[in-house]
Amino acid sequence: MNTNQRSDGSKEVKLAQHLTELVGQKTETRQDPWCVLPYLRLSPEPNVVCFRSQQFVLIDTSEDPPVSRRAVLRDLDEDGGPISPVNMASNSVTIEDIVAARERIKNYVHVTPIMTSSTMDELTGREIFFKCENFQKTGAFKARGAINTVLSIKEGRITPGAKGVVTHSSGNHGMALAWAAQIGQLACDVVIANTTSDIKKSAIQRNGAVLTQCEPNAVSRIETCKRISDEKGYEIISTCDHPCVIAGQGTMALEILDEIPDLDAIFVPTSGGGMAAGIAIAAKAINPNIKIFSVEPEGKNLEPCLRSGERLWPNPPQFLDTIADAMPMQQAGKHTFPILCELVEKTVFTVANDDIVKALRFAFQRMKIVIEGAAALGIAAVMSDKMKSLDPSIRKVAVILSGGNIDIDHLPWAH
C-alpha cells in the first residue's frame, strides 16, 4: 500500500502509528514464513502488516524468512483509536496453535474414524472420505474447541483466574463446554433456546452446568449470555469466535491429512465458521493447494458475503428455518468471517431441508451411522447437481460429519 494513497487522518495511518509505538512490547519472536499468509493488507508504515479485521501483528521483512513479532496490541475504534487491551497471542490462530491444541487435548478426545462408502464413490465419481465426528466426545466436533479452551484457561494461557465460563448455544457447544468445564473443575453456565431438544438440555445438565433457557432467537441468546457473564464474572466462550475454540476445531484437519495426505478438498458445514476457519488455517498451512468448501443451510447467504468480502447479513442477527438445528445462526462470526473470506472457496454449497432429509436417510440406511441434520449437509453437498460441475481434478474429497446428536423420537422424515 502506498502511503500517499491515504490521508494522515485515516484509520490505517493511525493504526500504523499505534503499532510502531508497540514494537518494543513483543512477547514472542520466531521464524514463521507461514504467518504472512493470512494477512489482508499492508499498512502505510514499513514492516507492519494488518492482520485480518482488527487483529494485527508486526512482520520484520528484512529477515529471510520474515520474522513475526507478536505484540500486546489494542483493538481500534471506528476512528482508529485504541480501545480495549488484548493480547495478540490470544487473538490470532496459527498452525502452531492448532498443533499445540492437538497435543493439549489428545488425552481427552477421540481421533475419530474416517469412513468410506463405495455407493457414494459411484454416485459422485470421486473418492469421498467421511470424518466421523458423530463418534466424538459429547457427540460432536465441539468437544475439541471446548476442551482446548478450558485446558488453556487452567494452564493460565488465557483469562487466568477465571471464575467460570458461560456460553450461548444451539446445544452441541453447550454440551461440550459443560463436559470440558467439569473436567477442568470450572463453573459453567449455558444459555439455550427453550425450543432446544430435551436430549441436549439433559446432557448439559448431566455434566453439571447451570442451564438457562431463553427465547428462540439470536438476540435473546446473546443478551442472556452477556447478563450472566456480567452478574457472575464468567468468561464468555463463543461457539465460534474464540481463538482456542478455532484452534481446537482445526485439529480435525491434522488428523484428516495424516491419513489422506493427497486430499484435494474438504467440505465443512458452516454456521458461525469456527470449524471452517480452524480447518482452513491448518489444511492450507500443510497444503496450500487444498480447497475448503463451506456447506450452508438454505437462507444463510454466505456466498455473496465471501465474494464481496463484506458482512451483507441483516441486523440484528437472525435464526434460519432449517432442520439442521445445530446451526441456526445466519451470520458468521466477527473473527471467523475474515478468515473464511481469505482461505475458503468463494463457491458455497447451499442445502435445502429436503436435501438434508435425503442425506440423513443415506447415512442411516446405506452407511449405517447415526448423524444429525447439520452433519448431513456435507453428504447432501456431494450428492448435489452442483457437485457434478465441480472441477474434475478434485478427486479426493473429505466430508465432515459434524455430529450425531439427533432426537431419534422426532426424526425429520417421521412427520
Q: Tell whether 258 and 371 lie within a shared domain.
A: yes
Same domain, 168 and 290: no
E strand or H helix that includes residue 247: helix 243-259
Answer yes or no: do 263 and 355 share one domain: yes
109 in the same domain as 87:
no
Residue 72 has pLDDT above 60, yes or no: no
Q: Average pLDDT of 65-78?
A: 35
- pLDDT-derived band at 415 (thresholds 50, 70, 90) equals low
For 3, phi then psi, to 5°, come to -60, -35
Distance CA 253, CA 290 (A): 11
The answer to whether residue 31 sits within a structural domain is: yes
Kindly state whether residues 59 and 173 are assigned to the same domain.
Answer: no
CB atoms within 10 A of CB 94: 23
DSSP letter at 403?
B
Question: Are residues 151 and 275 both part of a single domain?
Answer: no
| Cell triple for 108 | 481427552
Q: Do the domain assignments include residue 3?
A: no
H/E stretch holding 151: helix 142-154
Of 236, 256, 282, the domain-final residue: 236
Does any domain span residue 286?
yes
Sheet holding 187-193, edge to edge: 210-214, 187-193, 164-169, 235-236
Cell numbers representing residue 274 in the block: 469456527
Residues of the domain holding 257? 98-140+245-414
* 152: phi then psi, degrees, rounded to nearest 5: -65, -35
Whether residues 135 and 213 share a domain: the answer is no
Asked whether residue 324 is domain-assigned, the answer is yes
Q: State which amino acid sits at residue 213.
A: Q
Q: What is the CATH number of the domain that holds 299?
A: 3.40.50.1100
Residue 2 domain-assigned (yes or no): no
| pLDDT averaged over every residue in the chain | 81
pLDDT one-digit tens code per residue, 209-263: 999 999 988 889 999 999 999 999 999 999 999 999 999 999 999 999 999 999 9
Count how many domains the chain has: 3
Residue 150 within any structural domain of the chain: yes
Do 163 and 149 lie in one domain? The reply is: yes
Residues 307 and 401 in one domain: yes
pLDDT digits (tens, 9 = 90+) for 109-165: 999 999 999 999 999 999 999 999 999 999 999 999 999 999 999 998 888 778 899
Q: Which of 205, 236, 267 is the last residue of a domain?
A: 236
Establish whether 393 is a catalytic residue: no
pLDDT per residue as tens digits for the range 370-398: 999 999 999 999 999 999 999 999 999 99
170 is catalytic: yes
Based on the fold, state whether residues 371 and 277 are members of the same structural domain: yes
For residue 122, tell me if it sits in a domain.
Answer: yes
**Rama region for 344: left / alpha / beta (φ>0; ψ in -120 to 50; rest):** beta
Mean pLDDT value across residues 43-62: 38
Spot the catalytic one: 43, 68, 117, 170.
Answer: 170
- Residues 225, 251: one domain? no
CA angle (408, 411, 413) in 5-degree steps: 155
Which of 236, 269, 285 is where one domain is finished? 236
* Same domain? 348 vs 250: yes
Q: Which of 142, 200, 284, 300 is catalytic?
A: 142
Q: Flag whether 165 is in a domain.
A: yes
